Chains A and B, each alone.
Chain A
Amino acid sequence: MHVMYFTEQPMSAYPADIGLEVGHTALMFSNKHFDPVAGSRLYNEYLEHYIYAEEMGVEGFMLNEHHNAPFCMQAKANIFAAILAAVTKKAKIVMLGNPLPLAENPVRLAEELAMIDMISKGRLVSGFVRGGGQEQLANGVNPAYNRERFEEAHDLVVAAWSRQGPFRWEGTHYQHRVVNPWAVPLQKPYPRVWIPGVLSQETIIWAAKQRYPYIALNTSIEATKKIWELYDKVALETGYVAGPENRGYLQQVHVSDSEEKAEKNARQFLWMQGEFTGLAHPVWANPSGYFSPSLRRNFVEFAVGRAENPRGRPTFEQQVADGRIFFGTPKTVIPKLRHVLEETRPSIYGIWGNDGTVSNADARTCIRLLGQEVMPAMREIGKELGLHDPFELNSPVHLKYSTDLKAMPQAAE
């Protein structure tokens, strides 16, 4: 079982009171409220956290990026990945992920990732995401072509990694005279690709068709099981049997040396007024063309205030009750995580440990307890439950490298 540490790297020094007054804390929330002195301190604290995490036994760092918002300071995940490639030694650097549609030049992205893979001596896991709606707006990228760009940029990155150049690329959204990067990944055929997601069935289906592990981001246990049902069905149709090696799960887990402190800090998971990406206008999070057409009717009603957010807005207590937020000491948390692993059987598990205004000292305590107690226990439980991860199984990086594909049953059979 592969267990990773994650944090959104919150810009905790932003003036929350002004955000509440303005009514939004994303996309259009003015960066005049961004304090670069606090920013400099926080970036360095977060870097120290990863280094400390490796010392404490953490085996993977999960990195992501967002734009124009205090809930996440990481504007270019590859920058932290590049630094960690140089200053850490063993932990996997797991990008979950680079927002592919934002790339105007996916070949350059392929080069950056190849450099990270070589500098880290083959520790890169290169996940890809569509990016949230607000990321498209913040970067001037057309939301109506989000999925098309995601798929084509993926194909181009993989080609840049695995096809000998020079070659020409004449796609719908990307055209390149010469693809011939003099930086290719160390890992062959190419670094593992994992696909995180929340809601879109289209992404689950796409990931299953590629045989890429799907990482359920902070979904409830019941919702996660439904994701696996769909993934498993598509996998069977594609010719393979999906297992724990195809499943990843990110959950919010804060541990501390006392229950009281753990609960107080865990409440920081809702520090953005309970909204994952902060307060935002619905059309920013879901610009037209970005969301699944099947959700259009529900969404437009939500956008004008006639319906509830289709994603819901559960309270802290609800999220604790339905298994999305965990807190406690290692002793009380480990049995709860055992239950999650038994119920959902992932082999990849991301622990979103710290958020909001959790102090530097408490964040480090959490990391220490995760690395020294919680994660080793989870790896043992993983062994016991047969939750073998893609590294342990050396499972194929992509469907096309499979050696175990079965012919699809014909309708008449």
Chain B
Amino acid sequence: MAGWSEHDIDLGETKLHYRRAGSGRPVLVLHHDIGTPDSLAFYDALAAKFDVIVPRHPGFGVPERPPWMRHPRDIASLYQWLLAELGVERASLVGLGFGGWVAAEMAALAPRDFHRLVLVGAMGVKPPEGDILDQAIISYIDYARAGFHDQAAFARVFGDVSTDQLVAWDLCREMSFRIAWKPYMYSQTLPHLLGGVRAPALVVWGDDDKVVPRSAGERYVRSLREARFEIVGAAGHCVDMEQPEALVRLVTPFIEQN
């Protein structure tokens, strides 16, 4: 899959990095708290149909960070700024894990702005049952592995985990702590604001998500005006990395709808 271009854009005091490919309806894809590999089959498949923009969350995996950031809502506002700079209207949001929290915040901040909202294993709300897996007390590799149902899928994506990757995960973790330490990985106010979101939503969960309990997904579905819940089989938290084809089959027609 060719056609990915790399960009850096200055937004106020922050340099934001993003990759972009494809054409058609704009889709903003927001990655997990462990950062993202540059290339994923899921991104490529979306870019075959849509104009896909994948920003790197500020400070995730790189030492340069906006020191003022205190909450994922700050990232959500920054991405609204990015879309404004790019002149993108009526984007669809695809939020993966932690990125799902940012996507939900964006939709709640601007409830009329988006075409479709897709949340995959999204953090951001307190699960009515169970807790979000706390990376603060487990190792980098154990946490990333917990995102997968099948460890062979982890190996396909991350291989023998280089030291560079470990450093990147540590930087991601530090940034996660800076903005989502307490309450850990959820907002107490977000569920109360989701009812205003006009975009139809698709909420997707891996059937073996060990990071965010499924009850959080059910809470999203209850809180949003118009939401559908889908379970992907043989998938952990990182559905996008483990079952990209199944996820694309759900997401593509959903975004193609008028």
Contact = CB atoms under 8 A, between A and B. Distances in A.
Interface of A: 27-28, 137, 140, 142-145, 281-284, 287-289, 293, 296-297, 299-301, 303-304, 306
Nearest to A283: B139
B84 interface: no
B177 A289 contact: yes
A144 B139 contact: no
Nearest to B168: A300
Interface in B75-114: none
Nearest to B165: A300
Contacts of B137: 27-28, 137, 281, 283-284
B229 interface: no
Interface residues of B, number: 20
Contact of B166 (A137, A287, A300): A300
B136 interface: yes
Given A288-B170, A296-B170, A300-B167, A142 B182 contact: yes
Given A288-B170, A301-B166, A145 B138 contact: no
B174 interface: yes
Given A143-B177, A144-B178, 13 more contacts: A142-B182, A143-B136, A289-B174, A289-B177, A289-B178, A293-B63, A296-B167, A300-B163, A301-B163, A303-B166, A304-B139, A304-B161, A306-B163
B141 interface: yes
A300 B143 CA distance: 13
B172 to A, nearest CB: 8
B173 interface: yes
A288 B173 CA distance: 6
A299 B166 CA distance: 10
B163 A297 contact: yes
B254 interface: no
24 contacts: A28-B137, A140-B182, A143-B177, A144-B174, A144-B178, A144-B181, A145-B178, A282-B139, A283-B137, A283-B139, A284-B137, A287-B136, A288-B170, A288-B177, A289-B173, A289-B177, A289-B178, A299-B170, A300-B163, A300-B167, A300-B170, A301-B166, A303-B139, A304-B139
A137 B177 CA distance: 12
A296 B63 CA distance: 11
A130 to B, nearest CB: 15
Nearest to A142: B181
Interface in B43-93: 63
Contacts of A303: 139-140, 166
Contacts of A144: 174, 177-178, 181
Contacts of B63: 293
A137 B166 CA distance: 21
A-B CB proximity, top 7 nearest = A300-B166, A288-B173, A289-B174, A288-B174, A144-B177, A142-B181, A144-B178
Contacts of B174: 144, 288-289
Contacts of A283: 136-140
Nearest to A293: B63
Query: Which applies to chain B's interface (DSSP): helix, strand, loop or mixed?
Result: helix
A297 B169 CA distance: 11
A139 to B, nearest CB: 11
A393 to B, nearest CB: 40
A304 B177 contact: no
Contacts of A28: 137
A287 B140 CA distance: 11
A137 B139 contact: no
Contacts of A281: 137-139
Interface string B171-191: 101100110011000000000
Contacts of B181: 142, 144
A323 B163 CA distance: 35
A142 B167 contact: no
B127 to A, nearest CB: 19
A287 B118 CA distance: 32
Nearest to B180: A142
Nearest to B138: A283
A101 B178 CA distance: 15
Nearest to B166: A300
Contacts of A27: 137
B146 to A, nearest CB: 14
B163 A142 contact: no
Max chain A CB contacts within 10 Å: which of B137, B170, B171, B182? B170
- Residue among A27, A28, A287, A306 facing the most chain B CB atoms (10 A cut-off): A287
Contacts of A142: 177-178, 181-182
A213 to B, nearest CB: 31
Contact of B136 (A137, A297, A299): A137
A28 B134 CA distance: 13
A30 to B, nearest CB: 14
B177 A300 contact: no
Contacts of B136: 137, 143, 283, 287
A304 B140 CA distance: 7
A390 B89 CA distance: 67
